[in-house]
Chain A
Amino acid sequence: MKIGVFICHCGENIGKTVDCARVAKAASWLPGVVCSIDYKYMCSDPGQNLIKQAIKDHNLDGVVVGSCSPHMHEKTFRKAVSDAGINPFLCEIANLREQVSWVHDDVEIATDKAIDLVRIAVEKVKRNFALQTIKVPITKRALVIGGGVAGIQASLDIANAGYEVILVEKQPSIGGHMSQLSETFPTLDCSQCILTPRMVEVYQNPNIKLLTYSEVEKVEGFIGNFKVTIRKKARYVDDTKCSGCGLCIQSCPVKKKALSEFDENLTFRTAIYVPFPQAVPNIPVIDTSVCTYFVKKRESGKVACQLCMKKCDRGAINFDQQDELLVENVGAIVVATGYKLYSISEKPADSPIKGYGEYGYGKYKDVIDGLQFERIASASGPTAGEIKRPSDGKTPKKIVFIQCVGSRDEAKGFTYCSKICCMYTAKHAMLYKHKVHDGEAYVFYMDIRAGGKMYEEFVRRAIEEDGVKYIRGRVSRIYPKNGKYIVKGEDTIAGVPVEIDADMVVLATAMIAQDDAPKLAQTIGIPYDNYGFFNEVHPKLRPVESSTGGIFLAGACNSPRDIPESVAMASAAASKTLVLFGSDMLEREPTIAIVNENICAGCFYCKKVCPYNAIEIKQIVDRNGNVVKEVANVNAGLCQGCGTCNATCPSKAVELLGYTDEQIYAEISALM
């Protein structure tokens, strides 16, 4: 075999710490290496031409590039060698940047390590063989998980491009957190006024199949060919018969048992309910935990109440409805499951979060969180938009807003910045001042982070035009006294302690991942970070792609995001989906398992360990049609190339192409 070695300086990135000329020289002495060159930028056009020229000049049939991580430029170099006429899988990368020059300082040591890595790659490439990419058809339908503003945007974009979309939402209605908001910064336009038309658009779009009150249970398959199982939870209301008249809701006698999730527990809702009047679809659900019929049936087996059923003249109420499991085939998945607000006072038993016991959230009725304030300020909220205290309904004359509750706080919450709180607190204070002219608004802050178009101007407006008082410092304690809440804090600019007798306190609590985010991530097979936010492949260049092909991310499920960013991400995720749908066939890496039928003893341990059910039983028949033996056979469409079968096989009859035992043992042997 004739191997060429090409060492890239990556400008100074590698060249500064690794003596590239010495690496190239050392490589040239390795058996099988016929040419070894170092060059300033191997990934540039002249660099790639250098490789192509060398392949022609020396008749190379193997290439090793010592450069950045294969995750960066493996594709580039494989394409280059393929342009020069050799199989792309005869090219291997030695990672001399991320694993050597960027992590070590000593030139001598770094160069030695670089030589080792090149030697490993050379030994591997000697045992590589030509592989052909696998082509699989693409199912041109998309699944969008989460019906908040991001999910809505992604669904509409994909559907408007002419492809079918299945939009799955856990709650009874789409709309997400945005539908709960009063007004949005920095324009102060009414959140529902801009969102509800889009919700209706989703409902009316013939390309969108809307599944509310549903959850994704299982995802199988791979990019272009996912098979998704969706649980459509029983609403106990037949959506084909219901007209959304609301008579059932009016008739429900359970008035004070269930707190309204939509109103952030500030009001009650009935047992049969729609979350809010503009809900899409406008079809109620029955909460079986409080519904008299279900409660009595569980307790004594007797039939009770059924008032809603009696009222409904369309016969839509069906107490016997069961969960349905739907199976859908899709080619791409957009995950847009959003966030939740961290709003705990006491530390729950199983939570790593310590909580802010001293702020009294959950203990003092007038200490509320940001979303609760949104509901109070919203025209559709429990107070019809008038600012009133939850405890006694009086108009608060003094409100204290506290930022960074749980964010930027390693001791009690999360290290990260929740990003939107500076802006929404300014908005809250502003809305309050607009509604209660003689009221006083105080904001305790750590820094003001108002990066964004018209954001800084917005905060300045709150301070300068609306007279919101900003105090830099933290609050140590809140306690009630004579119907007021004494807020003790520090003004770190003036260097004095501050005490405010507030009527109400609003905590800008951190945006955190949904409780079931890790579980969902495991169900669909995407990585997530320590906080439970889903990871993107590359923070800068591939911000909306998960590392699993065909699964894209949008909105706050990835990290704290505001509305414009969520919408932008959603459109980006939709466009990635459309790029995928742009071709009929998908090219897949051919690094899959194959079976040597002569050795295979038919124990099928491989079949037991395969996560994809890609191993099938194949019968070997003689010329008379008698079954001679049964052997394993790999379904190339299903195999993802993890190699677990290879490691498990007692007779080594299964081999993972690209990572065969021979290749790996050669790498190990080349180490020393």
Chain B
Amino acid sequence: MEMNKDNFEPKIVAFVCNWCTYTGADLAGTSRMKYKPNVRMIKLPCTGRIDPLFILKAFERGADGVLVSGCHPGDCHYNAGNFHARRRWIMFRKLLDFLGIDDSRIHFSWVSASEGKKFVDVVNGFTDKVKTRGPFTRFKKLNEEFIING
């Protein structure tokens, strides 16, 4: 069956912080809220730990979308990690255009530990959005070429 936008299930990687969003996702679970199963979460201590290269790596490995989420500004467990993440994101965004990645494939959000419902909304909303963008193939080809040519 050929992949088209209707039967396409995007692969989404989420980089989340341990204290807010991971705990918020746990709350969504504890509250038995249902959401779309496309997201695979990678837990980090803080969004400040996120190297923009993680996001590129995820795209290179075949992700169709990347979700980044941490504590709300001012609520960082480590005081300021999320501010650094935000600043880095502003710079990184400019680079994305250069790399030819549609920046709507990356979603940056704040989900606190008490926002299970917001987590669900973010995941569902972003999954739908990436679905409309279709599969991300640009880096896949590069990856294949790299493998073929060594």
Q: Do A and B come from one complex?
A: yes
Chain A proximity of B18: nearest CB distance (Å): 8
Judging by beta carbons under 8 Å apart, are B20 and A668 in contact? no
State which of A99, A104, A659 has its C-beta within 8 Å of the C-beta of B45.
A659
Judging by beta carbons under 8 Å apart, are B40 and A120 in contact? yes
For B58-86 the 0/1 string (1 means CB < 8 A from A) is 10011100000001001111111100100
Judging by beta carbons under 8 Å apart, are A527 and B81 in contact? no
Asked if B35 is an interface residue, CB under 8 A from chain A, the answer is yes
Judging by beta carbons under 8 Å apart, are B61 and A642 in contact? no
Judging by beta carbons under 8 Å apart, are B37 and A109 in contact? yes
Judging by beta carbons under 8 Å apart, are A522 and B49 in contact? no
Asked if A261 is an interface residue, CB under 8 A from chain B, the answer is no
Q: Which residues of B contact A99 (CB under 8 A)?
A: 25-26, 29, 41
Q: Which residues of A contact B42 (CB under 8 A)?
A: 120, 664, 667-668
Asked if A313 is an interface residue, CB under 8 A from chain B, the answer is no
Q: Which residues of B contact A659 (CB under 8 A)?
A: 44-45, 49
Number of interface residues of B (CB under 8 A): 47
Q: Tell me the nearest residue of chain B to A525, going by C-beta.
A: B79
Asked if B46 is an interface residue, CB under 8 A from chain A, the answer is yes
A residues 641-655 with Cβ under 8 Å of B? 641-644, 646-648
State which of B32, B81, B114 has its C-beta within 8 Å of the C-beta of A642.
B81
Q: Which residues of A contact B51 (CB under 8 A)?
A: 646-647, 661
Asked if A4 is an interface residue, CB under 8 A from chain B, the answer is no
Judging by beta carbons under 8 Å apart, are A535 and B30 in contact? no
Q: Which residues of B contact A187 (CB under 8 A)?
A: none
A residues 136-156 with Cβ under 8 Å of B? none
Chain A proximity of B144: nearest CB distance (Å): 13
State which of A71, A102, A113, A647 has its C-beta within 8 Å of the C-beta of B50.
A647
Asked if A627 is an interface residue, CB under 8 A from chain B, the answer is no
Asked if B127 is an interface residue, CB under 8 A from chain A, the answer is no
Asked if B34 is an interface residue, CB under 8 A from chain A, the answer is yes
Asked if A530 is an interface residue, CB under 8 A from chain B, the answer is yes
Judging by beta carbons under 8 Å apart, are A521 and B75 in contact? yes
Chain B proximity of A27: nearest CB distance (Å): 16
Q: Which residues of B contact A640 (CB under 8 A)?
A: 78
Judging by beta carbons under 8 Å apart, are A671 and B58 in contact? yes
Q: Which residues of B contact A668 (CB under 8 A)?
A: 13, 42, 54, 57-58, 61
Q: Which residues of B contact A522 (CB under 8 A)?
A: 74-75
Judging by beta carbons under 8 Å apart, are B13 and A643 in contact? no
Query: Do A527 and B71 form a contact, CB below 8 Å, given A668-B42, A671-B61?
Result: yes
Judging by beta carbons under 8 Å apart, are A611 and B79 in contact? yes
Q: Once bound together, how far apart are the Cα atoms of A97 and B50, in whole Å?
A: 25
Asked if A117 is an interface residue, CB under 8 A from chain B, the answer is yes
State which of B33, B61, B84 has its C-beta within 8 Å of the C-beta of A647.
B84
**Interface residues of B, dominant DSSP:** loop
Chain A proximity of B8: nearest CB distance (Å): 15
Judging by beta carbons under 8 Å apart, are A103 and B81 in contact? no
Q: Once bound together, how far apart are the Cα atoms of A656 and B77, in whole Å?
A: 16
Chain A proximity of B101: nearest CB distance (Å): 16
Judging by beta carbons under 8 Å apart, are A611 and B40 in contact? no
Chain A proximity of B57: nearest CB distance (Å): 5
Judging by beta carbons under 8 Å apart, are A609 and B84 in contact? yes
For B7-51 the 0/1 string (1 means CB < 8 A from A) is 000010100000110110110111011110100111111101111
Q: Once bound together, how far apart are the Cα atoms of A669 and B13, in whole Å?
A: 11
Judging by beta carbons under 8 Å apart, are B49 and A611 in contact? no
Judging by beta carbons under 8 Å apart, are A611 and B81 in contact? yes
Asked if A547 is an interface residue, CB under 8 A from chain B, the answer is yes
Judging by beta carbons under 8 Å apart, are B45 and A528 in contact? no
Q: Once bound together, how far apart are the Cα atoms of A522 and B80, in whole Å?
A: 10
Chain B proximity of A516: nearest CB distance (Å): 13
Asked if A466 is an interface residue, CB under 8 A from chain B, the answer is no
Q: Once bound together, how far apart are the Cα atoms of A71 and B16, in whole Å?
A: 14
Asked if B88 is an interface residue, CB under 8 A from chain A, the answer is yes
Judging by beta carbons under 8 Å apart, are B75 and A671 in contact? no
Query: Do A103 and B34 form a contact, CB below 8 Å, given A518-B74, A671-B61?
Result: yes
Q: Once bound together, how far apart are the Cα atoms of A110 and B80, in whole Å?
A: 35
Asked if A499 is an interface residue, CB under 8 A from chain B, the answer is no
Judging by beta carbons under 8 Å apart, are B114 and A530 in contact? yes
Q: Which residues of A contact B54 (CB under 8 A)?
A: 664-665, 668
For B78-101 the 0/1 string (1 means CB < 8 A from A) is 111100100010000000000000
Query: Do A665 and B20 form a contact, CB below 8 Å, given A98-B29, A611-B79, A642-B49?
Result: no
Judging by beta carbons under 8 Å apart, are A647 and B29 in contact? no
Asked if A69 is an interface residue, CB under 8 A from chain B, the answer is yes
For B115-146 the 0/1 string (1 means CB < 8 A from A) is 00000000000000000000000000000000
Q: Which residues of B contact A644 (CB under 8 A)?
A: 46, 48-49, 78, 80-81, 84
Judging by beta carbons under 8 Å apart, are B77 and A646 in contact? no
Judging by beta carbons under 8 Å apart, are A103 and B113 in contact? no
State which of B35, B62, B81 has its C-beta within 8 Å of the C-beta of A672.
B62
Chain A proximity of B83: nearest CB distance (Å): 9
Asked if A239 is an interface residue, CB under 8 A from chain B, the answer is no
Chain B proximity of A355: nearest CB distance (Å): 25
Which residue of A71, A116, A644 has the most chain B CB atoms within 10 A of its CB atom?
A: A644
A residues 490-534 with Cβ under 8 Å of B? 518, 521-522, 525, 527-530
Asked if A591 is an interface residue, CB under 8 A from chain B, the answer is yes
For A620-644 the 0/1 string (1 means CB < 8 A from B) is 0000000000000000000011111
Which residue of A105, A525, A671 has the most chain B CB atoms within 10 A of its CB atom?
A: A671
Judging by beta carbons under 8 Å apart, are B34 and A105 in contact? yes
Asked if A160 is an interface residue, CB under 8 A from chain B, the answer is no
Query: Do A547 and B81 form a contact, CB below 8 Å, given A71-B26, A647-B50, A671-B13?
Result: no
Judging by beta carbons under 8 Å apart, are A656 and B71 in contact? no
Judging by beta carbons under 8 Å apart, are A527 and B75 in contact? yes
Judging by beta carbons under 8 Å apart, are A672 and B49 in contact? no
Q: Which residues of A contact B11 (CB under 8 A)?
A: 671-672
Judging by beta carbons under 8 Å apart, are B79 and A98 in contact? no
Chain B proximity of A484: nearest CB distance (Å): 45
Judging by beta carbons under 8 Å apart, are A647 and B49 in contact? yes
Q: Once bound together, how far apart are the Cα atoms of A106 and B37, in whole Å?
A: 9
Chain B proximity of A604: nearest CB distance (Å): 15
Q: Tell me the nearest residue of chain B to A104, going by C-beta.
A: B37
Judging by beta carbons under 8 Å apart, are A103 and B75 in contact? no
Judging by beta carbons under 8 Å apart, are B58 and A103 in contact? no
Q: Tell me the nearest residue of chain A to B9, going by C-beta.
A: A109
Shortest beta-carbon contacts, A-B, top 7: A98-B29, A643-B49, A644-B48, A642-B78, A611-B79, A672-B62, A642-B46
Pairs across A and B, CB under 8 Å, 6 listed? A112-B37, A529-B112, A640-B78, A642-B48, A644-B80, A668-B42
B residues lining the A interface (CB < 8 Å): 11, 13, 19-20, 22-23, 25-26, 28-30, 32-35, 37, 40-46, 48-51, 54, 57-58, 61-63, 71, 74-81, 84, 88, 112-114
Q: Given contact pairs A671-B61, A672-B61, A672-B63, enumerate 18 new A-B contacts (beta carbons under 8 Å).
A: A71-B22, A71-B26, A103-B37, A112-B37, A120-B40, A120-B42, A525-B77, A527-B112, A528-B75, A547-B113, A611-B80, A642-B46, A642-B48, A642-B77, A642-B78, A644-B84, A664-B44, A664-B54
